[in-house]
Structure 1
Amino acid sequence: MVAPALANMATGLGIRNAVVSQLTLTIFMLAYAIGPLLLGPLSETSGRSPVLLASNVFYLAWTLGCGLARNKAELIAFRFLAGIGGSAPLAVGAGVISDLWAPGERGQAVGIYSLAPLLGPVIGPLTGAAGVVGVVGFVFIRETYVPVLLKQRQHHVSRDETSGSNTSESLMTRLRLASVRPLQFFVTEYIIMVVAIYMAAVFGVLYILLSTYPKVWTQEYDERPGIGALNYISLGLGYVLGSQINACSSDAIYRCLLVRRNANEPQSSAKGEPEFRVPPMFVGSVLIPIGSFIFSLGSITCMQSMQAYVIDSYAEYAASGLAAAVLLMHIAAFGIPLFAPYMYDSLHYGWGNSTSRRLKKMAARSVHHEEPVSLGGRSEPDQASESTAIRDGGYGWVVVFACFVQTFWVNAWTGSWGIIQAALLLKSSMRTTPASTLSFVGSLGLSLTVALGLACVWLAGVIGARWSSLIGIAFFGASTLVGSFTVSNIGGLFMSAALYGLGGSLMFTMSNSLPLQWFNDRLGTANGLVKLGGGIGATVMALVVQQLIYKVGIAWTFRVMALTSLASGIPTALLIRERAPPSSSSIDMSLFRNLTFFFLFVAGFIGIFALYIPSFFLPTVATSIGLSSTTAAGVMACYNACMALGRLASGIACDKLGSTNMLLLTMALNAVTMLAIWSVASTLAVLIVFAALNGIANGAFFVTMPTAIGRLLGPHAAPAGIGMAITGWSVGDLLGNPIAGFLIAATHADRANSIVPYRAAIFYAGGTAAISTALVLVARLRMDANLIKKF
């Protein structure tokens, strides 16, 4: 009802900011996220009826307050309080359905129940824009919650004062326990997390659609507000049609699967599963991205299926379960539309809606992975994986895929920072900032990615690899969001880099240690595939970032990275599983008694000083010798593509030729390409040759070094050894690029069409790579003097 009147309300209350205008609409949804967390558990202790009736009164009172609001602050506050009262049916309704209907009959009940909150935003604009206010009378609701009914009956039987005091005391205990139940479900229950993520994506896109509908029809098509509101009819028809189709099909599918599941058992003992509610969701997730009518049909199908699934899964605690499941959904509906005006101003309606569609499709993949789940929060395969997992195969390849996505985003940031850095230097507000300062921003992120390796190993031992990866991708998304709001503030960029370092460290460490638990003979191939994700991430995002900066600017480039990383990283992080129980041991200094490990550790410590210099300075070198920024981005893309190729090829070669042998070849090629090719790269052809060969060598290092350490120390000691090695890289990550930047500044790198000012930095990089090569050679000779032998 508010959406069509947003413009009139903004004028009447003096609201000039588009975000504040959207906030008056979406603040209601924030209350919908918070209210069920309180009211759902309360209905499981005090009963459904009192909560619903009291909430209705609360809602009506504050809705009247909205009509009497005299300024934007009062309107936003009253809308929030009205939302608290209006949120009760969302959680309590699920409990009522669980109370009154058997599992095989809940489909039609959920169909009618879930249709009401979705038709509200559709019918509301039609009546609200015409000035019609609906007055809804109270419905006499009877209690349905069995435990409360039993207690009421017991209270009537026994009315002595002792029983009354004990009941009062137990009520406070039950309230305290029930109030934390939704958050406990959200944190510990895998199915709740998956459902919450998917419902958040669906509702976020839905409320972008709802909040921008008036502007599309009234401004783009010059329709009057009353006529423009009629376009909501397509959404309403889709909701009604989808609700009725899914209501009938859901119960039919449930009964069909129940018969198939219990074909050899008596009908009286047949038992269904919550997963029987999932099949219609597959159809709905395909329909949503197509159009508004089909979007509404698809979203109502998905919504009903997920609500029925949660109700069947948690039965007695359905209210708390659904309160946890809708938490992210309503936070998304509150927050995402706030950015809609800026998104459509930058991308316009075509690309803006395409971005929303792609976000929805990526989130859909999170519910298309089936995994048995226990109510203890840890999946059953997790508990049994120690004894049932097959080495060098099986679920290990799923873990490799999850690590692939994690490394994709870790390297997406580092691979595109050089392009972002070049774009920042062109901004008027950043032209006085030295290039060495901006390169230090990138180095800070890189150094933290590896500096916290030991802490990440310890944390994974405490909370597990899955939660460590989830926290990592959350920090990564936060870092890019912070960067989007601080593109003209060097301090904000340092904050963004620090957040990236925290998140990247967790993702990078997990992706290096997890393959060791699942692979032995094919460890190199597994590591190669994992690191291939980083190479592809750097390659693809370098091209994407270049185009996004040109089309929508640096700020929106960061925001697109945030949305896509969270939408793809969270679902895949949920796939991560450990084969063995996590160990909290993160450091073992006795490993340095093994001199071979010591030489490998020092080789990595020194060699890392050189490895990121090409990725940071190739674009500026290219422009310095007279190439265009577009050509420079192409050279960078070639470098990143060859780095991806080097990661995959070196992983396979490690299994064939030996991981230490491949590490030796990798560092030698790094040194030779820098000293002999990059130092004379004054033309495009020579620069491309360097980018290709050095990219292969650079990418291979991040596969061969962990694989060599893993095979040297064995699966038990390798996580600590790899964590220590990664932490040792932090010094080079932090100082390597700034040292190169200072050397370039000291040799006056502003000379156009020349490679000469960069040679001091190039020789510095090549020299450190050569020292690292010598140390790897010493380690290899300690294994066996025959360099041809596989080691």
Structure 2
Amino acid sequence: MSSSLTPSDEEKSIEAVRSAEEKELPAESMEQSSDAVSMSENQNTEHDGSNPSKENDAAEPIVIDWAENDQANPKNWSKRHRWAVTLIMASITFISPAASSMVAPAAADIGRELHLSSDIELQLVVSVYLLGYTVGPLFLSPMSEIYGRKWIIQCANAVFLVFNLACGFAQTKSQLIAFRFLTGLGGSAPLSVGGGILGDIWTSHDRGRAMSIYSLGPVLGPSLGPIAAGFIASNTTWRWIFWAISILDGVVLVIAITLFQETYAPTILKQRANKLTKETGIKHISKYEDTSLSRKEIWTKNLIRPFKLLSTQPIIQFLTAYMAFIYGLLYLILTTFPKLWTEQYGESTSIGGLNYISVSVGYLLGGQLSSILVDRLYKRLEVKNGGVGRPEFRIPLMFLSSVVLPIGLFWYGWTAQAKTHWILPNIGAAIICFAGMISFGALQIYAVDTYGRYAASALAAIACIRSACGFGFPLFAPYLYNALGYGWGNSLLAFVGFGVGVPLPIVLWRYGAELRRRSPYAVEDRVD
């Protein structure tokens, strides 16, 4: 708890702040800090109803908050600065998923050299990467809410770079599978923490376009990666697939280290409070700090938060179910595409890889439509709601996409089964990806809007199950298509998609606000 200062104590505190300002701190930053301290003291006095002249609580810490128009607040950064951070995160989030599927076109070559004898082993080389995606968010996201986003993203990206490079030097299947898992572990950070970073720097009015661009990475990367990998595998060794993506990631890592700044408000305010304490000799704390908890308790509280969200929050459970299905579909299509085009249509590895363009086109069209409409619809619905924004205003696009997705699955499955002209299965795949991208983007923005400062933990909970489905779907895909063929196999998936996807936007639209009111983690309706 913060104290109410006596007039003499207040004069000492202000004098000390001014002294620190003259010595080291930038004038603008210290002025904002002083304003924030003053505001916090006034608020606390009004709240307590206490008389500063009758008590001396100088030993108690001074609580600081953002000053009005505080330029250290990431939401007040210039638009150019915020877009720079967004594009850095979009680049990292593109590279990591691209690495997950790039090995698919070269799976046969890898199998011959490293003696992978069964279809399960070949699929495992692709899918074990997503097992790292399943584990990583469970501790990386909570750590970003303890230590901040910057170092978690950069350290995890360095782990990705080292082990992805090591994959290119693997001499046994065990080494390759182990390195792929560790690469996925490091590569999971941008998918789980990245949404929280965008929530840190954008208000709900402007967040939709940024989130739509960021959300392209997890789906566009896996679809474009195999196109490049097909030509690499055809013209040189499969090992260059890993080395090429490592070179690209190294460039992005250098840019991120140079330009990326901390975005998490509690971490920035804590750093400011520590600096004020050091400079003034008077204890300052951030408004987000809970001084009653030990370091162990803070760790425990943050590490179990994703599990608590997943087990207690119906909104998270609904989002997880459908996003996991969409993500599983993505990897099912990506890992079975090479076999469809090389065996069913008799194309070479490099030419067959060009069919991934249809997947990319679908995601790009879905992402573009989503980025144009998501903020526009939000603002229009906000005006109709008396100027009060609601996370549920992100949902309307899903009424379209949840119906279009099963149509795409039927189209893709039965045209592939009948061996029609190659353009027809590609159109079906593009429809699937178009609808999946709209749903994926809308649900991701909805999660960030709903859980605010706990967005990273919310996305971690979703990413855990989502990635588990991305890991599992490709493993049963060969058995599904061998037993039912492309027609009935994809029809089964279409029925599941219809049964899960169509009710979801209806439930969230009608009951989302009530579910948020009952949650200790979710935000209320608000005016930005």
**What TM-score range do you get, normalising by the shorter chain?**
0.5 to 0.7
2:355 match:
231
> Does the CA-based 8 Å contact 1:188-1:376 persist in structure 2?
no
CA distance in 1, matches of 2:460, 2:503: 20
Q: CA 1:152–1:171 in 2, change beyond 3 Å: closer, same or farther?
A: farther
CA distance in 1, matches of 2:292, 2:450: 30
CA distance in 1, matches of 2:152, 2:457: 14
Q: CA 1:378–1:175 in 2, change beyond 3 Å: closer, same or farther?
A: closer
Q: Give the unaligned 5+ runs of structure 1.
A: 263-269, 381-791
What SS does structure 2 have at the residue aligned with 1:196? helix
Match of 1:143 among 257, 262, 281: 262
CA distance in 2, matches of 1:296, 1:80: 26
Match of 2:488 among 346, 351, 363: 351
What SS does structure 2 have at the residue aligned with 1:103? coil
Q: Counterparts of 1:583-662 in structure 2 under 5 Å?
A: none
Match of 1:276 among 380, 393, 414: 393
Q: Is residue 2:486 matched to residue 1:321?
A: no
Q: Give the unaligned 5+ runs of structure 2.
A: 1-101, 233-240, 409-427, 523-528
What SS does structure 1 have at the residue aligned with 2:263? coil
Q: Is residue 2:153 matched to residue 1:52?
A: yes
Match of 2:372 among 244, 248, 257: 248
What SS does structure 1 have at the residue aligned with 2:206? helix
Q: Is residue 2:460 matched to residue 1:336?
A: no
- AA matched with 1:301: I
Q: Is residue 2:498 matched to residue 1:374?
A: no
CA distance in 1, matches of 2:469, 2:274: 43
Match of 2:315 among 191, 195, 198: 191
CA distance in 2, matches of 1:53, 1:189: 30
Identity %: 39
1:501 match:
none
- AA matched with 2:395: V
> Does the CA-based 8 Å contact 2:307-2:461 persist in structure 1?
yes
Q: Is residue 2:131 matched to residue 1:30?
A: yes
> Does the CA-based 8 Å contact 1:49-1:142 persist in structure 2?
yes
TM-score by length of 1: 0.45
- AA matched with 2:403: V
Q: What RMSD over aligned residues (CA atoms) do the two structures have, in Å? A: 2.3
> Does the CA-based 8 Å contact 1:45-1:171 persist in structure 2?
no
> Does the CA-based 8 Å contact 1:66-1:78 persist in structure 2?
yes
Q: Is residue 2:187 matched to residue 1:86?
A: yes
Structure 1's consecutive aligned runs of 4 or more residues displaced over 6 angstroms after TM superposition are: 160-164, 166-169
> Does the CA-based 8 Å contact 2:223-2:356 persist in structure 1?
yes
Segment drifting more, 368-377 vs 215-224: 368-377
> Does the CA-based 8 Å contact 2:405-2:436 persist in structure 1?
yes
CA distance in 1, matches of 2:293, 2:283: 11
Q: Counterparts of 1:489-638 in structure 2 under 5 Å?
A: none
- AA matched with 2:404: L
2:21 match:
none
Q: Counterparts of 1:205-216 in structure 2 under 5 Å?
A: 205-216=329-340
CA distance in 1, matches of 2:331, 2:112: 22
Q: Shift in Å at residue 13 of structure 1?
A: 1.2
1:155 match:
274
Q: CA 1:76–1:327 in 2, change beyond 3 Å: closer, same or farther?
A: same
> Does the CA-based 8 Å contact 1:373-1:379 persist in structure 2?
no
1:210-251 deviations in Å (ceiling 9; x for gaps): 110000001111111110000000111111111111011000
Q: Counterparts of 1:701-716 in structure 2 under 5 Å?
A: none
TM-score by length of 2: 0.67
Q: CA 1:168–1:227 in 2, change beyond 3 Å: closer, same or farther?
A: farther
Q: CA 1:119–1:161 in 2, change beyond 3 Å: closer, same or farther?
A: same
> Does the CA-based 8 Å contact 1:27-1:76 persist in structure 2?
yes
Q: Shift in Å at residue 362 of structure 1?
A: 1.6
1:73-120 deviations in Å (ceiling 9; x for gaps): 211111111101001011111111111111111110111100012111
Q: Counterparts of 1:339-488 in structure 2 under 5 Å?
A: 339-367=476-504, 368-369=506-507, 370-371=510-511, 372-374=514-516, 376=518
Bigger CA radius of gyration: 1
- AA matched with 2:166: G
Q: CA 1:188–1:227 in 2, change beyond 3 Å: closer, same or farther?
A: same
2:235 match:
none
What SS does structure 1 have at the residue aligned with 2:515? coil
CA distance in 1, matches of 2:192, 2:455: 8
Q: Shift in Å at residue 170 of structure 1?
A: 4.5
Q: CA 1:96–1:54 in 2, change beyond 3 Å: closer, same or farther?
A: same
What SS does structure 2 have at the residue aligned with 1:299? helix
2:104 match:
3
- AA matched with 1:346: A
2:383 match:
259
CA distance in 1, matches of 2:521, 2:159: 40
* Higher relative contact order structure (alpha carbons within 8 Å, sequence separation ≥ 6): 2
1:20 match:
121
- AA matched with 1:35: G
Q: CA 1:29–1:161 in 2, change beyond 3 Å: closer, same or farther?
A: farther
What SS does structure 2 have at the residue aligned with 1:271? coil
Q: Shift in Å at residue 163 of structure 1?
A: 8.9
1:103 match:
204
1:563-610 deviations in Å (ceiling 9; x for gaps): xxxxxxxxxxxxxxxxxxxxxxxxxxxxxxxxxxxxxxxxxxxxxxxx
Q: Shift in Å at residue 374 of structure 1?
A: 3.3
